[in-house]
Chains A and B, each alone.
Chain A
Amino acid sequence: MTTDVHATSFGLPHRKLAMWVFIGSECMFFGSLIATYLAYEDRSLVGPTPAEILNIPLTSVSTFVLLMSSLAMVLFLDGVQRNARTTAVAWNAAVIGLGGLFLAGQAYEFRHFYHEGLTLQQNLFGATFFVLTGFHGAHVTVGVIWMTALLVLQVLGRLGPERSLDVEVAGLYWHFVDVVWIVIFTLVYLIQ
């Protein structure tokens, strides 16, 4: 009656299932932040208002950059799975570069807003906007650090196809962070 202890009930690797479970939880985390942003929209007593200060063209470019980083991510994973080492390294570097570019855009935006008078303390828009996009940015930062760690492993020749699950799980996290931005871009920037 001995059974293969390595099988799992749903045929899924633990880490992949766990990352999706975590993503389910994160839906509520960002959902609560977004709910507050939307509940408090139009309740600021003083300006600046979103219409006055949000820069759609710039943010569109940021959105595009993050979307392309997701493309780079799947190509990175594909490269690892096919054992195409140089390709995989290049695409991982692209993820890191594009993610970094997104963060740079955020940093620029935040600084610019501060100079225009939109601070955390200024009004409800400032508070809800910076906390929401700030935590998103923190998630992107964690992602960039994670990808960098994988890059180091790649360069050391320790990220072969047998470890593609590690890349896939990192990729799920990365894509989720991108998807959250899709939602934020629509609800915060485009629908004012």
Chain B
Amino acid sequence: MSTAVIGHGSIYAGGLRSWLTTVDHKRIGVLYALTALFYLVVGGIEALVIRLQLAQAEAGIVGPDTFNQLFTMHGTTMVFLVLMPLAAAMFNFLIPLQIGARDVAFPRLNAFSYWTFLFGGLLLNASFLFGQAPDAGWFGYANLTSKQYSPGMGIDFWLLSLQVLGIASIASAVNFTTTILNMRAPGMSLMRMPLFTWMSFVTQVLMLLAFPAVTVGLIFLMFDRFFGTHFYMPSAGGTPILWQHLFWIFGHPEVYILILPSFGIVSDVLPTFARKPLFGRPFVIFSGIAIGFLGFGVWSHHMFATGMGPVADSAFSIGTFLIAIPTGVKIFNWIGTLWGGHIVFKTPLLFAVGMVALFIIGGLSGIMHGSPPIDIQQHDTYFVVAHLHYVFFGGTLFGLFAGIHYWWPKVTGRMLGEGLGKLSFWIMFIGMNLTFFPMHFLGLDGMPRRIYTYAADSGWETWNQVETIGAFVIAVAVLVFFVNAVRSLRAGEPASDDPWDAATLEWTMSSPPPEYNFARIPAVNSARPFWLHKYGPTRDTSTHVQDEGTPAQSPEPGERIDLPSPSFWPLIASLGLASAAAGALVGLWAVLLGVAVLVIGVFAWALQPLERPGHPIFGEGGR
């Protein structure tokens, strides 16, 4: 039976109003994904212009001011508007399904997080409309960001939108932490949770603890720019280094926030396509926790060039080397998972293996940065650009693409084309390496970061040309993916419940799942409940052996299920918050107006019951 993905009867059917008021985690996941993919194109175009400018020495495609805006927006967009929301899309869609729940703990707060993210992203990009995009780098070092040295509105757009985005993230983290701790199906102990959920859980904790630091840093910046304080100003005894500390106390955990979900995806994908359980499962889990914890102790490895002295340098360097250990543990466990397995060469596997390989390269350059004397040479050169793109693109994004291809059937009810999928993988793999590998050479040769051009006699032009070609190859790969996606949605092969013969709960239901997810909340006896059910204990080499496993989903619920009702108030509250932030650029009255809308929205939301009569219910008495 081939019904359109959003046709009548689909869980995505319904007009604009149904999408504006949705509190369904699956729809919210889709919204995050669509928005993130849009910003992938935006950030990608920014990158392509950068590469065009750098392809030739002393080119004049864009001037230095525009160039500064481009690399600032590219970085900020990719981190906050692409990588984080793509992960959020997967948290949203999958975590309730993987733990056997019907939704998240706070469905309306979930919607609020999405709208706040959307408006934060729009606020950031609105800066382009004024010709004043932020231009001080995605990390906004003081005191370049002071009113004196950045008199325009660009930095204001940046600091306001980041605070809005931060609120979205913290709200989401509270939601998912509560969901994961409190809403697991009976029998699903923490150690039996799928790896994607586990790594996402560590990610939520990192978000809760890291975002407040940058929020405080941004507040200080805001006060310096708007109210004349001197937090970052040496003239009053302050120091720009304070910003660097606060930013990197956030920024380092942030990179783990960016990579852990991809580690989780790969840890779920590899076993499925190797046809054997994740090797050393508890070690993979504990190393994820260790990475999260240690991630708070290394932030000043981004500051080795600021002259902190031998004690601080040593401490942070040791911490950085220590983090390599749990990371290495994971990599060996992934290899161990593949070793001796019956490998199924489908697109998700390719992206997952690609992720591991490319992350190793990124990790190696990272380890080099961990040594202060080496880092002083590499700091602010293209070597760092190489490192960060290997871990963010090769690591995070390849992992996310593995997840996209793996869970696409579950989300859409269609299969992506294998031919186009594999093609997009190979083109992306080649393009990525073509673009970023030569940056190691350029960096070691001394080419600085964030320069809008370079001298003709630098000897850097050839590699830059190669990198620019590579960037366009990446663009082709992304295009192939979009073609694959559109074809799948229009006329793709319908997906069964369990197209990959996987082990976790999200595969026990229809593709896409019914609105209520589980007809009956399963009882879980294993870390691989679905494999146990399908194949019995012989496949399960872990501790637990009981013959029931988890039943397949019955088509209809056996009891009445009330679902959370749609609501406008999260959208309204979010609009108020974003307006208050934007209002800071206009005047106090605008801020107060936004706050008023926020307060009204929050009160109305609090007073509105979560489940209201008239909303579809299922099972006895319902449909």
Contact = CB atoms under 8 A, between A and B. Distances in A.
Interface string B156-198: 0000000000000010011101100111111010000000000
A25 B170 contact: yes
Contacts of A2: 520-521, 558-559
B520 A33 contact: no
Interface string A44-84: 11000000000000000000000000000000000000000
Contact of A131 (B219, B228, B520, B603): B219
A121 B231 CA distance: 9
Interface string B105-116: 110000000000
Interface residues of B, number: 47
Contact of A9 (B183, B249, B520): B183
A44 B228 contact: no
Give the residue among A1, A31, A44, A131 with the most B Cβ atoms within 10 A: A1
B133 to A, nearest CB: 27
Nearest to B178: A18
Given A32-B246, A131-B220, A124 B105 contact: no
Given A8-B182, A18-B105, A3 B236 contact: no
A116 to B, nearest CB: 18
Contacts of A14: 105-106, 178, 182-183
Give the residue among A12, A25, A31, A120 with the most B Cβ atoms within 10 A: A25
Given A25-B170, A25-B212, A127 B242 contact: no
B174 A21 contact: yes
Give the residue among B212, B216, B217, B523 with the most A Cβ atoms within 10 A: B216
B154 interface: no
B520 A28 contact: no
A135 B102 CA distance: 37
A3 B186 contact: yes
Given A3-B521, A14-B105, A121-B228, A44 B236 contact: yes
Given A36-B242, A44-B236, A121-B228, A8 B183 contact: yes
B551 interface: yes
Contact of B523 (A1, A18, A24, A40): A1
B230 A124 contact: yes
Nearest to A8: B182
Contacts of B521: 2-3, 5
A10 B181 contact: yes
Contacts of A191: none
B209 interface: yes
B178 A17 contact: yes
A127 B229 contact: yes
B208 interface: yes
B237 interface: yes
Interface string A120-138: 1101101110010001000
B261 to A, nearest CB: 19
A31 to B, nearest CB: 8
A32 B250 CA distance: 11
Nearest to B223: A131
Contacts of B365: none
Contacts of A12: 182
Given A32-B212, A40-B238, A44-B236, A127 B174 contact: no
B213 interface: yes
Contacts of A10: 181-182
A29 interface: yes
A43 B238 contact: yes
Contacts of B211: 25
B223 A127 contact: yes
B216 A45 contact: no
A36 B229 CA distance: 14
A31 B249 CA distance: 12
A45 B220 contact: no
A2 B186 CA distance: 10
Given A1-B523, A2-B520, A18-B106, A28 B212 contact: yes
B329 to A, nearest CB: 27
Nearest to A13: B182
A156 to B, nearest CB: 11
Interface of A: 1-3, 5, 7-10, 12, 14, 17-18, 21-22, 24-26, 28-29, 31-33, 36, 39-40, 43-45, 120-121, 123-124, 126-128, 131, 135, 149
13 contacts: A1-B551, A8-B182, A9-B181, A14-B178, A18-B106, A21-B174, A26-B212, A31-B212, A36-B242, A40-B242, A43-B237, A121-B228, A127-B229
Given A24-B208, A28-B213, A31-B212, 6 more contacts: A9-B188, A21-B177, A28-B209, A32-B246, A120-B229, A121-B228
